[in-house]
Structure 1
Amino acid sequence: MSVCENLPKATNQLRRGALGVGFIIFFVISAASPLSVLAGGFPIGIMLGNGPGTPALLLLALGVLLTFAVGYTTMARNVTNAGGFYAFTSLGLGGLVGGAAGVLAMLAYNILQVGLYGMFGGVVSGTMASVFSIYLPWWVYSLIAMASIAILGYRKIDLSARVLSFIVVAEYLAILVLDIAILTSGGDAGVNFDSFKSEHIFSGTPSIGLLFCFAAFIGFEATTIYGEEAKDPQRAIPIATYVSVLLIGGFYALSIWSMVVGVGTDKIVSVLQQLGEPTTFIYGLSDHYVGPELTRIIRVLFIVSIYAGLLAFHNSAARYFYAIGRDGLLPRALGSTHRIHQSPHLGSVLQSLIAAVVVLAFAALEADPVLQLFAWFSSLATLCLILLMAMTSLAVLMYFRRNPQLQLGVIRRLVLPVFSGLALTMVLIIAVLHFDVLTGSSKALSYLLCSTIPVAMVIGVWLAARLRRRSMTCFIALGSHKL
C-alpha cells in the first residue's frame, strides 16, 4: 500500500485475480478496434501514405513496438500499478514528470474514448438511415451506447471482459474469412509480395503511412493498467503484451496485404480515390470475393467493433482516474472502489460525465461526428500516447539505472529502451509535422489542438508540485502503490 493512503483497505482495492491472460488480451485487442481500423482507418492511410507498401510499414511499426515492449514488460514485472504510463514515469523520472504523464494519459484516454462516440454515432446513424430508413441524430445513438457502457464500467471488470471476448473473436473470424477468400482465389493478378518491394515501400508519402500504422496499434499498451486485477500479474502482463502486439500487428499486416492482392498493387490507390467514402472499401471486397452475406456481417461488426473500443477505453480512463486519485494528485474519492463490484466506479462515472458533456457540446455546434469529433480527438490522442511511450522508454532506462540490484542484461535495460525511445521520438516529430493530414483540418487548428498537450503536462506538474508542498511523503510515493 502507498504510505500516504487514507482510505480503508476495503474501499480502495480493485478486484484481485479477476482477469486471466486471455481476458487482458481481449481488452487490449478491443481497444485497438481491429475491424474499425481496417475498415475506417487504413483505407485512408493507404490512400494518403505509400499505397500498396503499407504492409511493410506495418511490420516496421511492429518491430519498433516490440522493442518498446521489452523494457515495458520488464519493468512491469517489478511495478504492478493501474496507473500504467503514469506509474512507470513517476518511478523512473520522478514525481513532477510523473504528474505530467498522468494528466497527459488522462487526456489521451478520455478524448480517444469521446472521439469514438463520434464515430459510433455517425456510423450507426448512417446505417440505420440507409438500411432501415430510420433517421435520428448521431448523438442519440452515442448517448444510448454511453448509457450501456456506463453500466458495464461501473460493474465488475469480468463482465466487461466476457462481452469483449465474444466481439473480438467474431471480428477476427469475419476478416479472416475475407482474407482467405481473397488469397485462395488469387486476388486481382495472383498472390504476390509486391507490397514488400522497395519501389512500393518508398512510394507516395511513407511518413504519413507510418503514422497511420502506429495509430493502428494504439491500445496495446493498456495491459499494465489491468495488472492489479490480473491473476499472477508478473507473468500475465508480459505475456498479454507480447501476444497482443503480435496478434494486432500480424493480423493487420495479413489483412492489408490481402486487400492489396485483392484489388491489385497498381490499382489500389486509384480505386480508393474513386470511392466517395473510403470506409466502404472493405464492403466492396467482401461483396466481390465472398458475397453480400459476409458484407452484412462485417457492417454489423464494424459498429460492434467501435462499441468494443468504447468499452475498453472507458475502463482504461476510469483506472487512470482511480490510480491518480489514490495517490492524491486528484481528489482521493476517485481512488476508492465500489463496495460490491470492486470497480473504480467514481472514475467510471466521471468518465461518462465528461463524454456526455463533450458529445452534447459537439451536437449543439452541429459538428460532424466523424470528420471533426473523431478525427480531431483520435489524432490528438495518438500524439499523446506516442509521447507517453517515448517518455516511458526513458523512464524504464532510468528505473533500472537506479535499481542495479535487479541484475538485468544491458540489452533489456539499456539498448532496447534507448532504441525505442529514439524511434518513437522520430515518429512523434513526424506526427506533429503532418498533424493537419491526420486531422483533416487546417494547420492553425491542428497546432491549436497540439497545444493542449503542453497545457496538460503543465497542469500535471502543478498538481504534483502542490502535492509535494502538502506532503513530501505522498509525493515520493507517487506511482509506488504495491499489491
Structure 2
Amino acid sequence: MTDITSTDRLRRNALGVAAVTFFVVSAAAPLTAVAGGYPIAMLLGNGVGVPLAVLIVMAILLIFSVGYTTMARHISNAGSFYAFTARGLGGVMGGAAAYIAVLAYNAMQVGLYGLFGAVAAGTVAGMSGGAIDQPWWVWALAAWALVGIFGYLKIDLSAKILAILVAAEYLIVVLLDLAILGNGGPEGISTVSFTPAAFMTGEPIIGMLLCFAAFMGFEATTIYSEEARDPERTVPRATYLSVLVIGIFYAFTTWCMVIGTGSSKLMETLGGLADPTTFIFVLSDQYVGSWLTTVISLLLISSVFAALLAFHNAAARYFYVLGREGLLPAHLGKTHNEHQSPHIGSVLQTVLGVVILAIFIVTAQDPVLGLFAWLTNLATLSVITLMAIVSFAVIVFFRRQPQLEGSGFKTMLMPLLAGAALAVIAYQVVTHFDVLTGASPALAIGLPILVPIAGILGAIVAFQMKQSGSARFAQLGAHQDK
C-alpha cells in the first residue's frame, strides 16, 4: 500500500450544519417514507399506533446519539462507524465494521434504483397518457448516470441540489398535513394514535422495525466530519437536528394520515387499496386536489433521487477512507485534484451499481419487491448492527481515556442503553426478515448472513495487517486533523 499524500484529502470547511443536515435528511427520503414506507408500516404493523412508534424510535436514536456525538467531538474521520469502532474496540473489530458499512451503504444505494425506476416509469407513463412508457430500468440507468456525475464533483454542489429537493418535499407534505388538520377528517382530530393501547394493536414489532428503516441515513453526519466547518460542533448539532426534524415530521405526518381517514377506518381503507403506497395520493386528492397529487408524484421521483445521491456520497467516502487507511487498495484513497472529491471511490460505487442493476434486469426481478425491498432491508440491518457495535465502542473508548470526558451519563449510561436496545432490534430484524422483505425462506436466511460474512472478511483483512507488523494498523480510524 502506498502512503496517502497531503493532497489526497477531502475538501475542508465545505459544509455547515445546514448542509450536513440536508445530506442526512435527504438520505432518509422523507417523502418516500411517507408515501411508501409508512402506509406499509400501518398495514403490516400497528395501524393507528404508528405515530407513537415513530416517537419511540426517535427516542432510541436520540439516546444513541448522546454517546455517538460525544465521541465525534474527539474523532473526526469520514469512516464514521468504522473509525469509532476501531478507536474503541481495536483495529480488527474496526475492519469488521468497515466492511459491514461498505455493504450497508452500497446495498441501500443500489436498492433505491429499483424504487426510483418503478416510481419514475409509472409517474411519467401516467402523466403522458402512455405516450412515454419505458421500462423501469431505463429510468434507473438515467438516475445512475446523473448520480455518478454529481458524486464525482464537489461536495457542496450535491449539498445545494439536495437542499432544494428536500425543502420542496417537506413543504408539500406539510401543506397536505395542514389541509387534513384544517378539515378535521371524518372523525375529528384525535390523539388516540399516541396512546399505549393504539401502539400495541396489530404487530407493533413490525411497525417499529419499518419506522427504523425510515430513519436510516441520519447517522451519516459523522461521514462528513472531515468536510465540515468546525466539526466538533457541526456534527453533533447536525445529528440531533436530523433526528428531531425527521422524527417530528414523521410523527406529525403519520398522525395526520390517520386523521385523514379516521382511526376506525384506517385499516379498512389501506386494505382496500390495490397498492397501499397510493394512500398519500388518495388523501391529497380528497383534501387538496389533483394538482397536489401531481406535484407529490413528481417530488416522489426527486425524493428517491436525493436519497440515491446522499447514499452514493456516503459509500464513496467509505471506499476513500478504507483505501487511505489500508483496508482496501490504496488508489481508492485518492481525491480529485480540483474537486477534492473521493472520485475513485465514487466511480467504484457507480460501477458496482450498474453491475448489480444488470443482474436484476437480466433475471427480470421486480424492481420494488426484489431490488428495493431486499437490499434496503439488508442495509437497515447492517446499520442497526453497526450502531449497536459503536455504542459499546464508545464505552470502551472513554473508559480507556477518562480524561477526555467526565460525564458517565454520556459515555456509559446512554451508550449502554442504546447498545442493548439496538442489539435487540437487530435480532428482531433478522427474525422478521421474511415479513419485512417478502423474500423466500432461502433469501430470508441468506441475505442477513451477508452481514456477519462482511464483518469476518473485514476482520481478516485488518488481522493480516496487524500480523504483517504494519505501522498503519495502530492508526486505523485515527482522528484526521483539519
TM-score (norm 2): 0.98
> In structure 1, what is the equivalent of residue 22 of structure 2?
26
Contact 1:5 1:327 in 2 (8 A): no
SS of the equivalent of 2:225 reads helix
Structure 2 residue aligned with 1:86: 82
Write the mapping of 1:294-333 to structure 2, written as runs, cut at 5 A.
Answer: 294-333=292-331
- Alignment check: 8 A CA contact 2:405 2:411 kept: no
Does structure 1 residue 109 correspond to structure 2 residue 109? no
Identify unmatched segments of 5+ residues in structure 2: none
Does residue 1:259 correspond to 2:276, yes or no? no
Distance (Å, rounded) in 2 between the aligned partners of 1:471 and 1:180: 62
SS of structure 2 residue aligned to 1:229: coil
Q: CA deviation at 1:291?
A: 0.7
Q: Which residue of 2 aligns with 1:286?
A: 284
Output aligned runs, 1:338-349, within 5 Å: 338-349=336-347
State the SS of the aligned residue for 2:78: coil
What is the rounded CA distance, in whole Å, between the counterparts of 1:208 and 1:358 in structure 2? Answer: 28
Quick one: distance in 2 between partners of 1:355 and 1:80?
28
Matching of residue 376 in structure 1 with residue 374 in structure 2: yes
- 1:414 corresponds to: 412
Provide Cα deviations, 1:25-73, integer angstroms capped at 9, x if missing partner.
Answer: 0000000000001101111110000100000111100111000000000
Q: Distance in 1 between matches of 2:323 and 2:439?
A: 35
**SS of equivalent residue, structure 1 residue 9:** coil
The match for 2:350 is 352
Q: 1:6 maps to which residue?
A: 3
1:326-365 deviations in Å (ceiling 9; x for gaps): 0001001111100000000000000000000000110000
Structure 1 position 118 matched with structure 2 position 118: no
Contact 2:112 2:304 in 1 (8 A): yes
Q: Shift of the alpha carbon at 1:481? A: 4.1
Secondary structure of residue in 2 paired with 1:14: coil
**Structure 1 runs (4+) greater than 3 angstroms displaced:** none
Q: Which whole-Å CA distance do the structure 2 matches of 1:149 and 1:46 have between them? A: 32
Is contact 1:89–1:391 with CA below 8 Å preserved after alignment? yes
Kept after mapping to 1: 8 A contact 2:377/2:437 = yes
Which whole-Å CA distance do the structure 2 matches of 1:9 and 1:433 have between them?
46
CA contact under 8 A between 2:381 and 2:426: conserved in structure 1?
A: yes
State the Cα deviation string for residues 220-268 of structure 1 (Å, max 9, x = none). Answer: 0000000000000001000000000000000000000000011111111
Would the aligned equivalents of 2:221 and 2:238 in 1 still touch at CA under 8 Å? yes
Structure 1 residues 150-299: aligned runs within 5 Å: 150-299=148-297
Amino acid at match of 1:85: F
CA distance in 2, matches of 1:71, 1:188: 44
Give the residue type in structure 1 aligned to 2:35.
A
Q: Amino acid of the residue matched to residue 95 of structure 2? A: G
Task: Give percent identity, aligned residues only.
Answer: 52
Gaps of 5+ in 1: none
TM-aligned CA deviation for residue 135 of structure 1: 1.9
- Normalized against structure 1, the TM-score is what? 0.98
Q: Secondary structure at the match of 2:77?
A: coil
Cα deviation for residue 476 of structure 1 reads: 1.0
Could you say which residue in structure 1 is the equivalent of 2:42? Answer: 46
Using the TM superposition, give the Cα deviation of residue 198 of structure 1 relative to its aligned residue in structure 2, in angstroms.
2.3
Comparing 462-471 with 333-342, which one deviates more in the overlay? 462-471
| RMSD of aligned residue pairs (Cα, Å) | 1.0
